[in-house]
Amino acid sequence: MAETLSGKTALVTGAAQGIGEFITSEFCKEGASVFMADRDRPRLEGTARALEERGYTVIPCAFDITERDQVKAAVELALNRFGSIDVLVNNAGFYPRRHFLDMADAEWDQMLAGNLTGTFNCTRAVAPAMVERKRGSIINVGSVTFFLGMANLTHYVAAKGGIVGFTRSLARDLGGYGIRVNCISPGAVATESEKNFGTAEELAATFLPLQSLKRRIVPTDIARVAVFLASDDSGGMTGQTLNVDGGWIMH
């Protein structure tokens, strides 16, 4: 079976672990070369080594997506090494809970910077090269929490709602250049980080009754949708948000 991303190059943020690590791995399996971005240098380099040992072409680069100078330098490095960036996956983000009445100004600012402005920074740095080549796929990662509205996540839901709006308007701005912009909206994904919120059994008992599919969503579920959006198989799609949540939210 042919590799669907053969010859393509991608930049994936938040690639050291979780969903970003699985997206990177699936992209590599499908023939892509991946520029891996994350601010956790030790973990990023460890993940990259494991992929290199499997024969994949990856380049790790530690930088902070909220720092525009760092983003610009990293994108220039990626373009110098690969010659192009065919796919950008804006996956990096974080998920702290805080009741609105207890939220400090700095917490609001940090959340929007990490989950919304960082996506803007990376996209603005990558887009000119895509425009020049008149092709590219930008994949943003949102969250079903935007459609639900959830307690203790006002700042996070606001940022992820911004991602959906950003996706739609950017698709209008860049469509004339042959660039597609789409969003994946994960549901309750079973990752290492979710252990902060309970045991696997407790989380399954919480989320499975809400889903139509009675199994946990795993990072590979998100990664395979990212492969589809990165590939020519989704060539007619732009401005869309795809919920990958086991049938939790339907709209």
Separation CA 79–CA 83 (nearest Å): 5
Q: What is the pTM of this model?
A: 0.95
Average pLDDT of the chain, as a whole number: 94
Q: Which residues are designated catalytic? A: 156
- From the number of C-beta atoms within 10 Å of its C-beta (0-12, 13-18, 19+), residue 110 rates as middle
Residue 11 has pLDDT above 70, yes or no: yes
Task: Note the pLDDT of residue 250.
Answer: 86
Q: Angle, nearest 10°, between helix axes 154-174 and 105-112? A: 30
9-194+218-241: CATH topology is: Rossmann fold (3.40.50)
For the stretch 156-206, pLDDT in tens is: 999 999 999 999 999 999 999 999 999 999 988 887 665 666 677 777 888
Residue 1 has pLDDT above 70, yes or no: no
For the stretch 17-53, pLDDT in tens is: 999 999 999 999 999 999 999 999 999 999 999 999 9
